[in-house]
Structure 1
Amino acid sequence: MEKDSKIYVAGHKGMVGSALVRKLKKEGFFNLVLMPSEELDLKDQSAVGEFFESEKPEYVFLAAAKVGGIEANNTYRGQFLFENLMIQTNVIHQSYVHKVKKLLFLASSCIYPKLAPQPIKEEYLLSGKLEPTNEPYAIAKIAGVKMCENYNRQYGCNFISVMPTNLYGPNDNYDLKTSHVLPALLRKFHEAKKKMEKTGQKETVKLWGTGKPKREFLHVDDLAEACYHLMLKYEGNLSVNIGTGKDISIKELANLIQRLVGFQGEIIWDASMPDGTPRKLLDVSLLHRLGWSHKIELEEGIKKIYKENFPLENV
């Protein structure tokens, strides 16, 4: 990519897209195409075709998606499947039609089998059954990965895909109905702490599941760094894992956030609610061989986003 290359970041207002924009601007790229969803519905095939015909981007980062945590994935199953299929299909196909030089598609580590061996290697894709609570979202993302692969094979495109682990950082979603676990924990502990300070009475925080599942977390600025690196350095049909190679139990994460927030109350675990996948740790050896590894450690990253995003009036 040249500094004046025309680069389209789909989903530029989201957590991942905005991190990509920050990274590209930091590196001196100035010819960015940023089209908000209010002006371009990526589910609309003809509108996406007209957009590509008009703008003719040379490079595409496809970060637009309908996303959420366990509850959102399990509740809006049809919507998550339909909207993600439409968004990625339209953008990938029009990138082929209009001869985009290179495209990077953001998939998700949830596309791996629920009981995949740990750590999860890229080749474990489609080797077993998916986690039921997010199966529709995962199926859509698998379709996107395979679309990139097979457009490369049939049409000679240069489309790559990446599979990030669980993300957190600036522009995260703190809505308790649709957020992922880390921002949800931050909000719950913060609100409980503030309530205790106001009333002087002891508060409890109720959390789903047993706390036993283990998860890996990557700061979104690290993800943007990795995507930029791969856009410059990688070509191939194998989707590349992006993560830290380190995981933590949800209970340990809750205890860490409780300490960082300064909540003095009690945590209650509701074991009647689903845990989700028991463990999801990515094998990042391919990423390391390609010359990139994460820089922001979890405690450092959580401290930073808590300081920047709370109180909630500023979220």
Structure 2
Amino acid sequence: MKYSRIFVAGHKGLVGSAVARVLEKSGADVVTRTRQELDLTDQAAVRRFMADVRPEAVVLAAAKVGGIHANDTYPAEFIWNNCIIQCNVIDAAYRSGVSKLVFLGSSCIYPKFAPQPMREEHLLTGALEPTNEWYAVAKIAGIKTCQAYRRQYGFDAISLMPTNLYGPGDNFDLLNSHVLPALMRRFHEAKVSGAPSVTVWGTGNARREFLHVDDCAHAIVWCMENYSGEDFLNVGTGQDLTIREVAQAVARVVGFTGELVFDVSKPDGTPRKLLDVSRLDALGWRASIVLEEGLVGTYRWFLDNICCLRTESRFDGS
């Protein structure tokens, strides 16, 4: 079922902005609010907004996010902000008569030592990764909130768990970004400065899955229109690459021709992190943007929006 008036919560973020682009191209009436216009941690404000605007559907992409350091330093903020945002939006959407809500989580919800590839039934079968458990617990609570409102009230709230995302609008800060945008920026700075090499942490043998944010946005819209179920769904490519292969692909796209040095004294992290996407595949949706194609567009966005800013060349894997 298609919806014409859709509230995208978190439209300034990587995923929310991509969802808004896809919906706008389809002709939908996309409703957005900045944090200054609507504080999603304010229950009364969220209820007033939903009652006044009355969207047909809601995409809940708003969240407090951050890296390992932020999760470790501000655990109370991570669990409180995310839980309260989720509860406020889900409850207000139900109370105002919203027909469909899509809640977005993360693959970090799975146990640290979950079997690979990770299937939906692996949730809550083991201990979480300690460095991001506050965020993960909040996202698990979001899944359970959607399931509870479906069971008790018949509210059509679904949950999707995307894998590692990249693309236009990503965070390229060297201290806080994820591996792919960090590599892109380092390779770019090395090319510009003429540096002979770039150092990458670890052996390069760890395997990771990457999904272009536009593919993710299309999956979100597709599921909003075609899926209504209590079980959450993994969203990814179902394929992974070694960090070495990813680094080589980024270097090719950027045009860095120097040496890649892998610092084996640094940790690899989890050996593998891959989602099993067989449920979503069986329903009829599959990712279509191959990594190198997605990297080309991402690098173009980086050149147009980021590289003009003052940067410092850092090649120590930080």
Give the TM-score normalised by the residue count of structure 1.
Answer: 0.91
Deviations 1:123-179 (A, max 9, x none): 111111111221111111111011101111111111000010111111111112221
Deviations 1:78-132 (A, max 9, x none): 3322221222121111112222111000111111111111111111111111112
Judge conservation of contact 1:70–1:180 (CA < 8 Å) in 2.
no
Q: 2:168 aligns with which of 161, 167, 170?
A: 170
Judge conservation of contact 2:57–2:101 (CA < 8 Å) in 1.
yes
Judge conservation of contact 2:210–2:236 (CA < 8 Å) in 1.
yes
Gaps of 5+ in 2: 310-318
Letter in 1 for 2:244: K
Q: Distance in 2 between matches of 1:139 and 1:155?
A: 24
Where do 1:94-173 residues align within 5 Å?
94-173=92-171
Deviations 1:33-81 (A, max 9, x none): 1111121111222221221122122210001112234444444433322
Q: 1:179 aligns with which of 173, 177, 180?
A: 177
Q: Distance in 2 between matches of 1:73 and 1:298?
A: 28
Q: CA deviation at 1:278?
A: 2.3
Q: Distance in 1 between matches of 2:265 and 2:90?
A: 41
In structure 2, the partner of 1:199 is none
Judge conservation of contact 1:152–1:158 (CA < 8 Å) in 2.
yes
Give the TM-score normalised by the residue count of structure 2.
Answer: 0.90
Q: 1:89 aligns with which of 87, 112, 116?
A: 87
Q: 2:273 aligns with which of 240, 260, 280?
A: 280
Letter in 2 for 1:298: L
Q: Distance in 2 between matches of 1:92 and 1:268?
A: 47
Q: CA deviation at 1:271?
A: 4.8
Q: Distance in 2 between matches of 1:169 and 1:281?
A: 19
In structure 1, the partner of 2:5 is 6
Specify whether residues 274 and 137 from structure 1 end up closer, same or farther in structure 2 by C-alpha distance, changes over 3 A only. farther
In structure 2, the partner of 1:263 is 256
| Number of residues of Structure 1 aligned to a counterpart in Structure 2 | 308
Q: Distance in 2 between matches of 1:157 and 1:33?
A: 21
Q: 1:194 aligns with which of 183, 192, 195?
A: 192
Q: 1:243 aligns with which of 236, 241, 262?
A: 236
Secondary structure of the corresponding residue to residue 155 of structure 2? coil
Gaps of 5+ in 1: 197-201
